[in-house]
Copies of this chain bind each other. A is one copy, B any other.
Amino acid sequence: MYIGEASKRTGLSIKAIRFYEEIGLIQNPDRIGKYRFYKENDIELLILIKEAKELGITLSQLKDVITYNDDKVNWSSIKVFLAKQRVQLLNQIDDINKKIDMLNKCYDQIHP
């Protein structure tokens, strides 16, 4: 499928998909004539990228973790990364709890 359909299938904008290619996050797709042509494999990866973004994972983190063997995505290293990411999220909860403490102190210092 061409990029317009890929965009609809994944919910990513056309601009975003081209951007991911530009920064090397996805491999250069095949071309039919001058048009980018995407296959199911490509769509799967784009959907993963979209979901990861919603989890707050940055593109540069993804770039480190999306690797290829013979042009095929190495999904197992992505699984490992997701497990680490879970720990990260738990740490973020701790950080927020610390902020709540700070905020309460800050609140009490303002006394008018």
Binding site for B on A (CB under 8 A): 48, 51-52, 54-56, 75-76, 78-79, 82-83, 85-86, 89-90, 92-93, 96-97, 99-100, 102-104, 106-107, 110, 112
**How many chain copies?**
2
Q: Which residues of B contact A89 (CB under 8 A)?
A: 96, 99-100, 103
Residue of B nearest to A54 (CB): B102
Contact B102 A79 (CB under 8 A): no
Candidate in A85, A99, A104 with the most chain B CB atoms within 10 angstroms: A99
Chain B residues near A48: list those with CB within 8 A.
106
Q: Which residue of B lies closest to A51 (CB)?
A: B106
* CB pair B76 A112 closer than 8 Å: yes
Residues from chain B with Cβ under 8 Å of A78 in the complex: 110
8 Å CB contact of A56 from B75, B79, B99, B106: B99
Besides A78-B110, A82-B110, A89-B99, 11 other A-B contacts (C-beta < 8 A): A51-B106, A54-B99, A79-B107, A79-B110, A82-B103, A83-B107, A86-B100, A86-B104, A89-B100, A89-B103, A96-B96
